[in-house]
Amino acid sequence: MRAFDSYIHKMTQKPIFHKEFFAKMHTFKELEFVDVEDLSMLKLLGLPITKYNNYAFTLETLSTPITQGKFCIVDIEANGSKPTLHQIIEIGAVMIENGKEVAEFSSLAKADVLPDSIEQLTGISLSALQNAPSLSSVLEAFRLFIKDAVFVAHNVNFDYYFISYSLEQAGFGPLLNRRLDTIDLAKKCIEAPKYGLGALTDYLGIGFENHHRALCDAKATAQVFFKALEKLPEEVQTVEQLIDFTKPHNQKKKKKEKPVKPTDTSL
């Protein structure tokens, strides 16, 4: 977890005074290029910040009902697994607002390297990538698409930090969006044998074409998201409560049964 994320977690506990907030924002290296006292800039980077009163800030997600929330369901394909060595070759996303899918984002990104294993897995050809828009332009368009919606993905940290690192390298600043993992959400709400996206969609009877293509995977993840929301406990009402509920540390631990001492039948 980034130091920034740890600090923002404090805002989920209580509002933070303006002076303290701005002072802390100036200490984060990833925000050095940003006018952190411009709230519109922070919102553009994904932070759903709002004024609590004339003296403090809070997060919009704390009071936004889930049914009125903005969720961007995201999936990426890359030509390797490490952001520092490889690059994104496709981004797909579905925007959900007020409980409905309202928009889609899908684009390949120009690349000159594509391992055979990735081509076989995704069906994407090197020639298609060489004629695709630049990664920089795709990232810029995605930034404008997601805005300050909650970033949702199946194994969210992979997609989130890959995109965030790529945005920083392109000069657009990191992602500051709240995020949610549909694997963890599904484990809380759906009893299934396995929680990989392919296995889970099969179990739930969700139609799924072109696995390992970004938009198709994002659409399938969106359906898993909707299925899980149907099983939410009644007390989970706001977007921030949903994010908190989803975190693994809130999973109920099964109590281990105490071993039964064998009865001495010889007595």
Tell me if residue 76 falls in helix, strand or coil: strand
| One-letter amino acid for residue 243 of the chain | I
Which residue carries 């411009």 as its tokens?
38
Give pLDDT tens digits for 53-80. Answer: 999 999 999 999 999 999 999 999 999 9
Which residue, among 256, 259, 225, has the nearest Cα to 239 in the 3D structure? 225
Phi, psi of 192 (to 5 degrees): -140, 155
As given in the structure block, the two tokens for residue 231 are: 């099983």
As given in the structure block, the two tokens for residue 192 are: 């299934």
Give pLDDT tens digits for 116-173. Answer: 999 999 999 999 999 999 999 999 999 999 999 999 999 999 999 999 999 999 999 9
Which residue, among 14, 31, 38, 9, has the nearest Cα to 178 in the 3D structure? 9
Write down the pLDDT at residue 250. Answer: 53
Strand partners, 71: 96, 150
Q: What percent of the chain shows pLDDT beyond 90?
A: 89
pLDDT band at 257 (very low <50, low <70, confident <90, very high): very low
Write down the pLDDT at residue 105. Answer: 98
Q: Are 183 and 195 in contact (CB under 8 A)?
A: yes
